[in-house]
Chain A
């Protein structure tokens, strides 16, 4: 039963579809999650009472609820209030909410580690606070946040498998279907595990390159 034919003609074609879906999920979720994470972090550090409170609540709520529960609410719960999301959209929204709340905390830490004199000097030149944050603080803070945010991105790649639970057939889901039909759990999940490992290794490599590119003289000793 288990032979080359199974791998080539049954497993790989369906895994390929799943793989494409997984890539689509993470390619949407990573950048949107990062951007929202940055906004929430800025809101938390520099926002007025209301904005800062909202940011804190956002982080507490989305970091504090299991992602699976979040996905169930989005996909199975929302129709009861008239919002119907496709499995893909529900998954992306869930991932974005979860990962942005983690990013926000990494970035907040990085923002707060930028010396206060930096923003003072920018303001003394006539920069508005917002401009100082965007042009002076963020470029430094984001560099410092790369290791933490890389961590979160790698988590996201792996927890994208939860999309399967809201019927979005990505890599894990596609594998599960094949595995239960042919009763080849070990083989299928070994292959899937290897594929995740490959994606994560590639992502790690890319993030390391990014980290190196973003460094500048005097930065090395801060790593």
Chain B
């Protein structure tokens, strides 16, 4: 469960997803998804592969444009804007990818500082200081001058989290952040994410790590066939799901990824 700072005393609305539809080549992968994300909240999205989870996340920061529906960041609509304004929104919506997508030609600290310099127009010294601070926060202060190829998968993912955090986003999106990692490297990334959640970062996380979901999520959203089938706090969803489908899916996940109570 969350620490006291993570509790939602006053519900401040950060993100609204309203009736998002998206089709690819005639196949509708998102069929009207809506949910709200409040400040300091962690939402975990689960669901079978190929059911539009990543697409949904990419719709939130407009890397994919939804066919229908709107996204709101606080009281501003993100959708239906010109590219320049979308770039401003993206600065406030951090994103972490499944396959890291670190910039191959830059060492860790430059990966973190480049957007500060090129997007926020920060001075080089100040950007370097901020980047080092973020790297230390994810436990990689000593690896600052290593290139992506010299880092392990878990370190790469932590650099990419630091890179997103450096922009001081209002909300962080995680697209299966541990799926490309060796089992023994998953823990270090989840550890960083747990710490973020405890510190009150607002997060939307696609993951199949049920231990993580159990300990951090305020709400779990089960997506199936492009629709939000069921959602609720982990205690409810894990132990008294409304639908048989949800129960079966969670059963499969725990079978594959271990016990629900495996992580504390």
Decide yes or no whether B102 CB sits under 8 A from chain A.
Answer: yes
A-B contact count (CB 8 A): 78
Decide yes or no whether B87 CB sits under 8 A from chain A.
Answer: yes
Chain A residues contacting B256 (CB-CB under 8 Å) are none
Picked from A127, A131, A217, A219, the residue with its CB within 8 Å of the CB of B146 is: A217
Alpha-carbon distance A118/B103, docked complex (angstroms)? 6
| A-contacting 9-mer, from B5-13, B67-75, B88-96, B134-142 | B88-96
Decide yes or no whether A151 CB sits under 8 A from chain B.
Answer: no
Chain B residues contacting A219 (CB-CB under 8 Å) are 104-105, 149
Chain B residue at minimum C-beta to C-beta distance from A125: B115
Alpha-carbon distance A126/B102, docked complex (angstroms)? 15
A139–B105 touching, CB < 8 Å: yes
Decide yes or no whether B114 CB sits under 8 A from chain A.
Answer: yes
B115–A126 touching, CB < 8 Å: yes
Picked from B61, B107, B146, B149, the residue with its CB within 8 Å of the CB of A124 is: B61
B150–A217 touching, CB < 8 Å: yes
Contact with B along A127-142 (1 / 0, CB 8 A): 1110100011001100
Decide yes or no whether A121 CB sits under 8 A from chain B.
Answer: yes
Alpha-carbon distance A218/B107, docked complex (angstroms)? 11
Q: How large is the interface on A (under 10, 10 to 19, 20 to 34, 35 or more residues)?
A: 20 to 34
Decide yes or no whether B167 CB sits under 8 A from chain A.
Answer: yes
Chain B residue at minimum C-beta to C-beta distance from A131: B118
Please provide the chain B residues from 8 to 65 with a CB less than 8 Å away from any CB of chain A in the complex.
61, 63
Chain A residues contacting B238 (CB-CB under 8 Å) are none
Q: Give min CB distance, A130 to chain B, whole Å.
A: 10
Decide yes or no whether B163 CB sits under 8 A from chain A.
Answer: yes
Chain A residues contacting B95 (CB-CB under 8 Å) are 121, 124
Alpha-carbon distance A103/B43, docked complex (angstroms)? 49
Given contacts A117-B97, A121-B97, A131-B118, contact A126 B103 (CB under 8 A): no
B105–A125 touching, CB < 8 Å: no
Picked from B94, B99, B150, the residue with its CB within 8 Å of the CB of A218 is: B150
Alpha-carbon distance A131/B95, docked complex (angstroms)? 18
Chain B residue at minimum C-beta to C-beta distance from A128: B87
Alpha-carbon distance A123/B94, docked complex (angstroms)? 11
Contact with A along B94-134 (1 / 0, CB 8 A): 11010101111101000000110011000000000000000
Alpha-carbon distance A143/B147, docked complex (angstroms)? 16
Given contacts A117-B99, A143-B105, A218-B104, contact A125 B63 (CB under 8 A): no
Alpha-carbon distance A35/B93, docked complex (angstroms)? 35
Chain B residues contacting A127 (CB-CB under 8 Å) are 87, 115, 118-119
Decide yes or no whether A198 CB sits under 8 A from chain B.
Answer: no
A120–B63 touching, CB < 8 Å: yes
Chain B residues contacting A126 (CB-CB under 8 Å) are 87-91, 115, 119, 167
A217–B147 touching, CB < 8 Å: yes
Chain B residue at minimum C-beta to C-beta distance from A142: B105
Chain A residue at minimum C-beta to C-beta distance from B91: A126
B148–A218 touching, CB < 8 Å: yes
Q: Give min CB distance, B244 to chain A, whole Å.
A: 37
Q: Give min CB distance, A174 to chain B, whole Å.
A: 44
A140–B115 touching, CB < 8 Å: no
Picked from B88, B101, B149, B150, the residue with its CB within 8 Å of the CB of A118 is: B101
8 sampled A-B residue pairs with Cβ under 8 A: A118-B104, A121-B160, A127-B118, A131-B118, A131-B119, A143-B105, A218-B147, A219-B104
Residues of A within 8 A of B (CB): 115, 117-118, 120-129, 131, 135-136, 139-140, 143, 216-219
Residues of B within 8 A of A (CB): 61, 63, 83-84, 87-91, 93-95, 97, 99, 101-105, 107, 114-115, 118-119, 146-150, 160, 163-164, 167
